[in-house]
Each structure stands twice: as C-alpha cells, then as structure tokens.
C-alpha cells in the first residue's frame, strides 16, 4: 500500500514497530490476481517480483498451479471420497497466466524495500492511540512520541492495534482466533529433495491430501530450494501456548502424518521446521 501511495505522488510516512525491515519464513506463492495487482499498484513491484519468481521446472508443467495427490494409505480414503491408490495423482489445477509462481519471503521484501525512499519509514514506532485533533489525526506511540497526519491507514497485522482503536477492543473481529489448523514449515535443498523424491515431484508443485491435513511443496529461489508446508488439525480447537511459532519435535511431526504415503514420509525425513499455528 505504501508503495502504491508513493506511486500516486501521495506524501506518506510508514511507522513500523520493528527495529528494521526484516523477514524470516520461507516460500510464498502468488496467484494470478495478486500478480496482476502488483502491476496496478506500481509496475516496478511486478518487475522486481519477476526477477526472483520461480515456477515449475518442467516446461509441460509451467501452467500448472498444483498437482493433487492422495496422501494417506489407510483410513484417509473415506474422508477424501476419492477413488484410487495411495500416491495416485487425482487432479491438476491450472493457472493459465502464471502457473505456480513463488518467491522466498525475505527476497521479495528486499524488492519492496528498495522501492521505499530513504526517510519514509520510521522504526520502533508501535502505535498506542489514534485520536482526532481538529482537522488532523494524532498518533501516540509506545515510546511516548507523537505524530500528526491527515489520515491513518492501519496495516499492522492480525493483532491489529488500529483495528481495536477503530472498532473497540471487545469487538469480535479485533482478536485473532485459532482456526484449528497448524503447519510445519521447512526448506529443503533441491538436490536433497530430488534424491528423496525424484525430479518430477521435487521440481514441480505438489499437494498431498489426507485425513485432516495436507502437505504442499513447490520450488523457490530459482529452483535451488524446495519449500514445504505440512498442515494438520488440532481437533480440540485450542491453542494454549502464548507463542505462535514453537520449536518443532520431529516425533510429533511424524506422529501427525503416520500412515501417509512414501512421498510424504520422505519429505518429512529431510525437513527441519518450526511449528506454526494458523489463526
């Protein structure tokens, strides 16, 4: 949004709670609509994205978004309501404009940061209050400093303070709710992924479907790395830990996917990842 406003010659300041621009994590995929939006916001975003984006490696799979495979080999069949044997490909989803298009989050952040002029971003500014003061909006930050603006746009994530200020702290939309889904995330060097899975499954986007979960993989970093996200369901619907990203225990991960097919077991065996809840 900031880059789009600057592209329209609208003066603005970004108040960022972190000490600097930084991104961890792994791969992220963008669909056709998101990629079209990049060009509309600022063509330079799309140009930068295209330089680092990775698609499926095989030419005949360039337009495929994901290939869907049966994951478990036991009681998952009844939940899937899909015929066939374990490991069988049951569907291909095509995205004609872009196919599978993915980047490493940190690398895409670098593209965006390079489009933000010096002095536009102020760091260490966590907003506490936003109040109307005449024709202006007064922002008060956690460090006691203040700033004035004609308008305030809140882009402060799922734990949005600006949403609380606008709607009230007790409003049902102001506090994130655990969906019951959590994910193991990881990156695998492509040579190890090919060794474990073979060239086709490692270098082209796949989704393995099963009981209460799914595992997706796709290439990033110009094919040097395979990104992995393995989703499962916490059946009681409760997330009791204060942290959103927890140290991962491999025994727990394998227990979550017991009975799934050979491909999934091979993926998990070479993945190292944290446990991340989905809110």
**CA–CA separation, 11 and 253 (whole Å):** 48
144 torsion bin: left (phi>0), alpha (psi -120 to 50), beta (else): left
- Residue 137: CB atoms within 10 A of its CB come to 15
185 is annotated as an active-site residue? yes
Rounded CA-CA distance 70/218 in Å is 17
Task: Give the active site residue among 46, 161, 163, 185.
Answer: 185
Dihedral sign from CA coordinates of 31, 36, 40, 45: positive
- Give dist(CA 265, CA 144) in Å, integer: 52
State how far the Cα of 193 lies from the Cα of 199, in Å rounded to an integer. 8
What is the strand order of the sheet 136-141 is part of? 127-133, 136-141, 146-149
Contacts 24+ apart (CB under 8 A), 83-89: 86/261, 87/261, 87/262, 87/263
- The set of catalytic residues is 185
């Amino acid at each position: 949004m900031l880059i789009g406003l600057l592209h329209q010659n609208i003066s603005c300041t970004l108040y960022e709670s972190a000490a600097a621009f930084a991104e961890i994590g792994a791969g992220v995929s963008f669909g056709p609509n998101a990629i079209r939006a990049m060009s509309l916001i600022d063509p330079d975003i799309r140009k930068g994205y295209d330089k680092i984006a990775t698609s499926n490696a095989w030419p005949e799979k360039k337009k495929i978004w994901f290939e869907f495979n049966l994951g478990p080999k036991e009681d998952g069949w009844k939940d899937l309501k899909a015929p066939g044997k374990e490991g069988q490909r049951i569907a291909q989803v095509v995205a004609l404009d872009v196919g599978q298009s993915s980047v490493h989050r940190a690398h895409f952040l670098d593209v965006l940061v390079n489009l933000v002029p010096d002095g536009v971003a102020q760091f260490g500014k966590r907003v506490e209050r936003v109040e109307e003061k005449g024709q202006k909006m007064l922002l008060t930050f956690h460090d006691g400093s203040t700033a004035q603006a004609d308008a305030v746009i809140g882009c402060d994530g799922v734990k949005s303070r600006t949403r609380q200020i606008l709607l009230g702290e007790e409003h049902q939309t102001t506090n994130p709710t655990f969906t019951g889904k959590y994910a193991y995330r990881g990156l695998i060097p492509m040579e190890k992924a090919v060794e474990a899975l073979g060239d086709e499954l490692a270098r082209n986007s796949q989704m393995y479907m099963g009981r209460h979960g799914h595992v997706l993989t796709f290439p990033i970093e110009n094919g040097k790395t395979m990104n992995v996200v393995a989703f499962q369901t916490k059946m009681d619907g409760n997330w009791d830990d204060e942290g959103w990203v927890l140290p991962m225990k491999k025994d727990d991960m394998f227990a979550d996917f017991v009975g799934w097919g050979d491909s999934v077991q091979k993926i998990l065996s070479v993945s190292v990842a944290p446990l991340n809840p989905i809110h």
